[in-house]
Amino acid sequence: MRFKFLIAAIILFSVVFSSKAQDFRLGKVSIEELNEKVHPKDSSAVAAVLFEKAENRLIYNQGSGFEIELVVKARIKIYKKEGYKWANKAFRYYLVNNMREKISFSEAVTYNLVDGKIEKTKLKNDGEFDEVINKYWGQKKITMPNVKEGSIIEYEYSLHSPNIGNPRDWYFQSDIPVNRSEYINYVPEYFVFNTNVKGFIRPEITVAKSNKMLTINSKERVVSRMGAATTNFNSDNINYIETRTTYLAENMPAIKEEAFVNNVRNYTTSLEQELSMTKFPNAMPKMYSTDWDAVVKTIYEYDDFGPELNKTGYFEDDLKAVIAGLNTQDEKINAILKFVKSTVKWNDYYGYSCNDGVRKAYKDKTGNIAEINLMLTAMLRYAGLNANPVLVSTRSNGISFFPNRTAFNYVIAAIENGNDVILLDASDPFSTPDVLPFRTLNWLGRLIRKDGTSMPVDLMPKKASVELKTMLYSVNDKGEVLGKLRNQKTAHNAMLFRGEIKDIKEDAYLEKLENTNSKIEIKEYSLQNEKDFNLPVIESYSFVGNNLSELIGGKIYINPMLFFARKQNPFKQENREYPVDYGFPFQDKYAINIQIPEGFKVENLPQSITLTMNGDLGVFKYLANLQGNTIQISVSNQINSSIVLSQDYVALKSYYQKMIEKQNEKIVIVKI
């Protein structure tokens, strides 16, 4: 249900602005533009897109039929040094076989104002780079020359693609202001596309139709009765109607990062397109729109997916030793997951297709996501478990609204056990069953079975990750705090912590911990279950703090949560358009015992309260009790959903504000 609300929140809210007069042609940079020191609507902007224009056409190639030609022109203003990165552009293109794309740059120029005159510096060959990312993708890059604060850059590039089914998405917004963004789509009457405009600001859309003519050249080899061969060349002119759709957005504000956002591109004003039907003359209409079942079935049949999944001969002998004597499902799952993680390391490449194949990955002990997790799935199947791959779109890849093969960029393993599905990913050394790397926690995946059937799989964790801090400390008559702390983390909290400390020496970690926690002095540090990933990770230490209380007029003021009290509300906006995405539900718990010094008594003790947010979406409990010279404080903050929708934002902000105020109430101790 929350997924449906998110989609509704992403799509279409109308705000249209107008921009000042400007020459939107390359080479027409003005002195006024070069003199501009700050963006007129956003003085903090490091750069701005003055204009960009894309024209997307379906053009006829005599040898191969219709292809996409995308031509993009852009002018960008650099205001500050931090904006220099906008002078470096990179664009991907597909490399494989008959779907190979071509991309080229032209008209790349940097403009500066020198002694009141416009100086032009053209891009040279040494500023253009072409690189292969993997066997599927290449990347064309440019680095603009002579860029300074105040520079303006212009460039034009063109993309030719035979993949007419999925034109490139177009983003009208960016993380810098966009003064004007125009996308013009030219579609012959033979093609019908599904279109979707995402975001909270809707571009202005205009549609016009015009008559066009297409010339098709052909040749025919004719052999006469006498055996003489001649070639006849023919040209046919075909008249058709072309639809020109223009999307225009002006004065688009910069997309600002907010706390707990999944992928801001999911909410950025943008255009998606997908070919749904072709209807050529003298032919039956052909439907291209498909469903997720058809998409994943196609992927399963790829040579670098399904067949790789079915290979087993390379690991059988080794795996027999791993699972020997194991009887239960959990024992086998944990043993096989541990074996794959320790045998094959991830090479940091995403994708659901194998690059060099599972055999080579196993031999070389390194592989991409597909090689590692398809191998894991095959091993689980070999051990008699009902295991299947699950296609995933990572958080950085976003959410797709059309069923298509590019919607996914990752694959994990799943075990079906009745109504339960156990999710596994062997690419992260600290993952455990149903505790996936944070990058994969992105709404829904798609499980593919051997028989070609598929089903959606909820990737968002249901079980709360718990962090329990137990503190025992005393306060002396000088306000010095001496105590012991035990911090226990489970599930995703434990996985993230293990990843955080894996490459840090203990001395460096403790120094950081001391500085972060009000410059306490830490002694007797210990860490438990660091490498036993199925158990909570526990750190314990003693500490002394001289900055944890205040002595005023003979009274001691102390925050019972010490350095763990949250100081600022992470939610500062009055309203919020994006959902709040924590990634996983969680519970932060504190069990605190405070020993007050002899000869003192408690003058003020915070009152116990319970806060709830929209039912059980959030629950905060603060319990305080005094027994003799010991104060007992129990604090718990529990968020029961991975995602809080924007409609609940005001309640969430208020909930946090009240919680923070409570966490910062002081205990007051006075002499008897």
pLDDT digits (tens, 9 = 90+) for 68-77: 999 999 999 9
Is residue 201 pLDDT above 60, yes or no?
yes
pLDDT digits (tens, 9 = 90+) for 187-200: 999 999 999 998 88
pLDDT digits (tens, 9 = 90+) for 138-151: 999 999 999 999 99
CB 635 within 8 A of CB 590: yes
pLDDT of residue 227: 65
CB 440 within 8 A of CB 412: yes
Mean pLDDT in the chain?
A: 92
Looking at residue 222, its amino acid is V
pLDDT of residue 500: 95
Is residue 92 pLDDT above 70, yes or no?
yes
The candidate with the shortest Cα–Cα distance to 390, out of 349, 430, 443, is 443
Least confident of 280-284, 433-437, 602-606: 280-284
pLDDT of residue 9: 45
CA 627 to chain centroid, in Å, comes to 49
Which of 2.60.40.420, 3.40.50.1100, 2.60.120.1130, 3.30.70.3270 would CATH assign to domain 465-671?
Answer: 2.60.120.1130
Alpha helices in 304-346 (DSSP H): 306-309, 316-323, 329-343
> DSSP labels for 519-587?
T-EEEEEEEESSS-TTS-EEEEEEEEESSSEEEETTEEEE-TTGGGS--S-S--SSS-SSPEE-SS-EE
Buried/exposed code over 609-633 (b: 16+ C-beta within 10 A; e: otherwise): eebebeeebbbbebebeeeeeebeb
pLDDT digits (tens, 9 = 90+) for 265-276: 888 999 999 899
CB 631 within 8 A of CB 591: no
CB 208 within 8 A of CB 279: no
pLDDT of residue 554: 87
pLDDT of residue 486: 98
First to last CA, the chain: 58
Q: Are strands 465-475 and 521-528 parallel, antiparallel or unpaired?
A: unpaired
543 phi/psi in degrees, rounded to 5: -150, 155
The candidate with the shortest Cα–Cα distance to 174, out of 52, 58, 275, is 52
On whether the 2-15+42-287 domain is CATH 2.60.40.3140, my answer is: yes
CB 631 within 8 A of CB 514: no
> DSSP labels for 8-49?
HHHB-------------STT---HHHHH--S-SS-TT-SEEE
Determine the Cα–Cα distance for residues 296 and 408; give it in Å rounded to an integer.
10
Give the pLDDT band (50/70/90) at residue 456. very high
| Chain position carrying tokens 């998405």 | 169
CB 389 within 8 A of CB 301: no
Residues 6+ apart with CB under 8 A from 638: 464, 585, 586, 587, 588, 618, 619, 620
CA atoms within 13 A on the CB side of 123: 22
What residue spans define the domains of the chain?
Answer: 2-15+42-287, 293-458, 465-671
Q: How many CB atoms lie within 10 A of CB 55?
A: 17
The candidate with the shortest Cα–Cα distance to 525, out of 547, 502, 509, is 509
pLDDT of residue 26: 93
Buried/exposed code over 217-236 (b: 16+ C-beta within 10 A; e: otherwise): eeeeeeeeeeeeeeeeeeee
The candidate with the shortest Cα–Cα distance to 247, out of 204, 291, 306, 296, is 204
pLDDT digits (tens, 9 = 90+) for 560-584: 999 999 999 999 989 888 899 999 9
Distances (CA, A) of 654 to 396, 441, 569, 657, 661: 30, 27, 9, 5, 11
Average pLDDT over residues 612-636: 96
**Token pair for residue 560?**
């019972």
**Token pair for residue 315?**
């690991």
Is residue 91 pLDDT above 60, yes or no?
yes
Give the pLDDT band (50/70/90) at residue 400. confident
Average pLDDT over residues 496-508: 95
- Percent of the chain's residues with pLDDT above 70: 94
Question: Model pTM?
Answer: 0.85
Buried/exposed code over 347-361 (b: 16+ C-beta within 10 A; e: otherwise): beebbbbbbbbbbeb
We find that the CATH architecture of domain 293-458 is Roll (3.10)
Biggest alpha carbon distance in the chain? 128
pLDDT of residue 228: 65
Looking at residue 612, its amino acid is T
Give the pLDDT band (50/70/90) at residue 222. low
CB 442 within 8 A of CB 395: yes
CB 631 within 8 A of CB 602: yes
Looking at residue 398, its amino acid is G
Is residue 478 pLDDT above 50, yes or no?
yes
141 phi/psi in degrees, rounded to 5: -130, 150
Average pLDDT over residues 368-383: 98
Is residue 121 pLDDT above 60, yes or no?
yes
Least confident of 139-148, 383-392, 444-453, 631-640: 444-453
Determine the Cα–Cα distance for residues 581 and 438; give it in Å rounded to an integer.
12
Q: Could you check whether 2-15+42-287 and 293-458 share the same CATH topology?
A: no
Give the pLDDT band (50/70/90) at residue 226. low
Is residue 21 pLDDT above 70, yes or no?
no
CB 20 within 8 A of CB 151: no
Three-class DSSP category at 323: helix
The candidate with the shortest Cα–Cα distance to 216, out of 62, 59, 57, is 62
Least confident of 250-264, 336-350, 436-450: 250-264
Q: Give CA torsion, residues 59, 64, 67, 72, to 10 deg.
A: -80
Buried/exposed code over 111-129 (b: 16+ C-beta within 10 A; e: otherwise): bbbeeeeeeebebeeebee
Determine the Cα–Cα distance for residues 581 and 643; give it in Å rounded to an integer.
5
CA 242 to chain centroid, in Å, comes to 37
**Token pair for residue 328?**
């239960």
Three-class DSSP category at 630: strand
Determine the Cα–Cα distance for residues 361 and 346; give it in Å rounded to an integer.
10
Give the pLDDT band (50/70/90) at residue 131. very high
